[in-house]
Chain A
Amino acid sequence: MTDIRHRTTLGSTFRFAVRLLGLAGVLTAAIGGLIAYVQTDGSLTDEAGDPVARIGRLMVVVGGAAAALWVFVELVGGLFLVAGRKSAEGVATGVLGLLAVVAVVVVNLASVTFYTRYDATRDRRFTLDRELIDELKKLDPNTTTTVLVLQLDKTSTFDPDQPDAITAAAQQKITEKVTDLIDELRQHPELSARFDVRVLSRRDERFEEQLATATHDKPELAAAVQAAPESSIFFASNGRVRRMPFSYFYLLDKTASRGKEAVGGLANPAAANLVLAPQGKERFVRALVGLEQRKPKVGLLTIHPYLTSQDADDDGRAPYTAAGLRAALEQNGCEVADVVLKKGWGRGRPQPSAGTFDESKLEEKESEYLGATGQALQADLRLQEVEAMREWLKTAPVAAVEQRFRRYPRGSMADAEYRTKLDTVVLDPTVRQLKLDAEDARRRAAEAEPEYRQLLADDRIQADRRAADVTAKLRAATADCDLLVIPRLTTMSLVIGQVIPPSLYPLAESQTVVVKEFLASGKPVLFAFGPTVDAGGFGPATDANEILLQRLGFELGSQTVITTPEAVAMTRPATLGNRSVKLPPLEVVMAGNTVAAAFDRANRSVDGTLELKRSGYRPIYLAQRDRPFTAPAVVLQTTADAWNESRPLAEEADDGPRSRSYYPKFEAALPDDPAKGTREEERKQRFVVGAAAEVPVPAEWIDPKAAALQAAAVMAGGVVGLPPGVASAVMTPDAFADKPSARTARVAVFGHGGFFVGQKLDPGQEALLISTVNWQLRRDDQLPKPVADAEKWRYPRVSLDDKQRQYWQVAGAAGLPLLAAFFGVVALMFRRRR
Chain B
Amino acid sequence: MSASGKRLAGIAVVAAIVCVAIALYIALYLTNVPGSASAVETSSGTNLYLATVASAATNDPHPTWVSYYAVDANDQNWRHATTYVLPANTLVHVTIFQFDSQTGLRNPFIGQATGTVGGTFTLNGKTMEAIDPDTASHVFAIPAIGLSVPLYGISSTAKNPCSNAPCPLSNDHSTITFTFRTPAKGLYRWQCFVPCAAGFIQGFGGPMQTVGYMDGFIKVV
Chain B binds chain A: no
